[in-house]
Amino acid sequence: MISRRSCLFFKLLSIGVAVLLAALPVLAQETDPDPDSPVPVILSEPDSTRALTVSPAKLVRGGRQKTPAKAFAPDQRVVLYVTNLALMKDEGANAFRVYAEDAKGHRYRFPVLDFYPINEVTGVYALIFRLHDEAGFWEPPTPDGDLLINLTWRGLASNRVRVGYGQIGGTVKDDEGAVPTPLYGTPTGQTAAPPTKDTIGYRWSGDRIRFLEQATFGPTVDLDNRLRRIGLRTWLAEQFEAPYPSAAFPYPDIDLRPTNPISDCDNANGDDVPATCFRDHYTMYPVQTWFYKEALYGTSQLRHRVAWALAQLWVISGVDTQQSSHMIAYHKILSQHAFGNWRNLMFDMTLNPGMGNYLDMARSTRTNPNENYPREILQLFNVGLFMLNPDGTLQLDGQNNPIPTYDQTTINNFTKVFTGWSFCQTPASCPSFVSGTVNYKDPMLLVQANHDTTAKTLLSYPNAVSQNIPAGQNGLTDLNQALDNIYNHPNVAPFVSKFLIQQMVTSDPTPAYVGRVAAVFNANRTSPTQMKEVVKAILLDPEARGNVKTDANYGKLREPVQLMTNVFRQVGVTSADGLTQSDGNVNRFPQALLQDAFRAPTVFNYYPPNYIVPGSSLLGPEFAIFTTGTSIGRANFANSMCFGQIAVALPDSPNGTKINFAELQALAAADTTSNQLLDVLNQRMMHGAMSAQMRSTILTAVNAVASTSPLTRAQTAVYLVLTSSQYQVQR
């Protein structure tokens, strides 16, 4: 018999458990650190916005005093003093960028040369830069006075201060609201600017939406709520273990077919062949529609997102890859290794028959060698053309020229390594073999007689692995030694890390960010979950995290595929009748914007990772396909989906697709001021960063629509956010 005291104990215990369970969402979130970094502050003279540019010794002796204003000449070194920083260990000069604007509105980026603490003045750092435009557009004009200078750090922009160029003064105007930031009296502990309205979300809601834009194919209300309950790290742990593909969307199971379609595959002759025979076997339609359904509704978002990024590095294309079954076998390798070991991915991708066909390794023999795959596994997939520092910056020789990673002789030697492999056509060794077809599902097999067994000399670098391959070896031994030689090249970590950062977070990451991720890549070289740690490092880095990023050059133009999937998931997407899910036949939109999924125009992808936005020093890969035509196409897409739909059209569009405006329409009907509608769109689509000017402009346009037409109001609001530059650039 349980005593009354025991009953009281159990009652108190149950209450305690209930309280604890109620607190779990908060406790889980607190396992993630505050994502916001402080906003850097450049010190100025005590009574003006002119930069404090005295020598460090004078700063220590007379930091309270006004000093004579000084002008600087082209290429001269300039010292700034920076405070309000919370630095990580070893964070230094390569974490900062310095920008300038002249009186004509021209903008420049200057190289940062050094960064160090002023030990005598707590919390103050000297940052030294050179008056030399990194993009090469700086043409020293007649000295015309002040430049406005600011620096950026972790995607946050400092205040702007004046620095005299040639002479003091001139016509450049201070920013509105600019105030002096003297050494003594400068506020510290500032963090990134808060969201524009307290009502738009909970603490860190902006960072959660930003995280989901980076780690998925778009935020949803349910995912945002889950992140709020469990935190980013727990969600990542779940995603790393999530089954893939999602149970509702398995890979299409498509059999291999002969190279030449049977005569009645298009249903031109006979009724026993489906009308979709050619579409389902000899086009990318099945893999495209599967891909979009997984992107729009799948639960294993992170692996799908990373596999899509890898598909833009290890490129094969439906332009040359004939059958959808071939592309599916290729994509399975990417998804299998998305969180695995890079060296294992290198091996499986090298022997993938789709890659073997696309870059001709399947036809390369000792008597007829082909250098396509040997060249691209070095140049495009792993190493790059020039030697890199650990932070991804170029190594330079004594004449300030980049240092090549290899030459044609190296390519010739690698070409010998990759000879002798061809399609797996031996029934006993090839489980997917089908008579009368080419086997694009099983890994390629070695025909030793076709392999070049001469000695090979491969990549040279400090402590090079397997640089010299002896003669007379088996082709598989040669292959593994060659892959070891590539994998251990010092370029691989920064090369891969920078590419993935560009794909997921920001087009022009600082070298410090690249270096931190590359260090994780190298620290996990032998780990079977190496890429899991790399992806985690990319997404949790302080340069990625934060409620708001104020650096105008931070972020990435949304690539067409993600522009579409993001808005679909942020607002809601259904079939044309609103009763079920989209059929995934939506590729027409990104295709019109020069990103035809799984049909890249060349092995160089849709756009190169080193593309520079014209007239700037800014890396912006996606801008390579941003043209006059595609800019209009983006607006056309917004118009088509906000005010229309993809109607049912059998057989290709069995369900059709439309944006589900039901919730937003109800908001517009309930609040005729449209403020609630704008609040929700600000949170979901702009992670709370909608400017007051943007909000006012959209609000005016929405309220110009009669309040008796709430659907049109909702459609107009989404259209205006979707077509804005603030949304088109993911920040």
pLDDT value for 232: 96
pLDDT value for 135: 75
Is 5's pLDDT higher than 60?
Answer: no
Of 8-17, 99-108, 426-435, 626-635, which range is least confident? 8-17
Of 78-82, 134-138, 548-552, which range is least confident? 134-138
Q: What angle do CA 75, 620, 176 make, to 5 degrees?
A: 65
pLDDT value for 439: 98
Helix axes 560-571, 710-722, angle to 10 degrees: 150
Q: Where residue 615 falls among pLDDT bands split at 50, 70, 90?
A: confident
Nearest to 535 by CA among 250, 729, 341: 341
Instruction: Give Cα separations from 42 to 77, 85, 548 (angstroms).
Output: 16, 11, 20
pLDDT value for 272: 58
Of 3-7, 148-152, 247-251, 727-731, which range is least confident? 3-7
Is 716's pLDDT higher than 70?
Answer: yes
pLDDT value for 139: 58
pLDDT value for 196: 40
pLDDT digits (tens, 9 = 90+) for 120-139: 899 999 999 999 888 776 55
Instruction: Give Cα separations from 696 to 588, 612, 720, 725, 727 (angstroms).
Output: 33, 33, 12, 16, 16
Structure tokens at 559: 């690539």
pLDDT digits (tens, 9 = 90+) for 343-397: 999 999 999 999 999 999 999 999 999 999 999 999 999 999 999 999 999 999 9
Query: Strands 125-130 and 77-83, how do they pair?
Result: antiparallel
pLDDT value for 687: 94
Using a pLDDT cut of 70, give the percent of the chain over it.
90
Indicate the SS3 state at residue 114: strand
Is 20's pLDDT higher than 50?
Answer: no
Query: Cα separation of 591 and 595, whole Å?
Result: 5
pLDDT value for 140: 53
Is 433's pLDDT higher than 70?
Answer: yes
pLDDT digits (tens, 9 = 90+) for 317-340: 999 999 999 999 999 999 999 999
Query: Cα separation of 639 and 516, whole Å?
Result: 41
pTM of the full structure: 0.93
pLDDT value for 17: 31
pLDDT value for 34: 77
Nearest to 500 by CA among 207, 215, 243: 215
pLDDT value for 23: 35
Q: If you search the block for the tokens 């030694």, which residue do you land on?
A: 481
pLDDT digits (tens, 9 = 90+) for 508-545: 999 999 999 999 999 999 999 999 999 999 999 999 99
Q: What is the mean pLDDT of residues 91-114?
A: 94
Mean pLDDT rounded to a whole number for the chain: 91
Q: Where residue 282 falls among pLDDT bands split at 50, 70, 90?
A: very high
φ, ψ of residue 104 to 5 degrees: the values are -90, 0
Long-range contacts of the stretch 525-529 (C-beta < 8 A, 24+): 525/343, 525/487, 526/341, 527/341, 528/340, 528/341, 528/344, 529/240, 529/339, 529/340, 529/341
pLDDT value for 533: 98
- 73 or 480, which is more confident? 480
pLDDT value for 601: 97
Nearest to 441 by CA among 285, 254, 243: 254
Q: Where residue 31 falls among pLDDT bands split at 50, 70, 90?
A: low
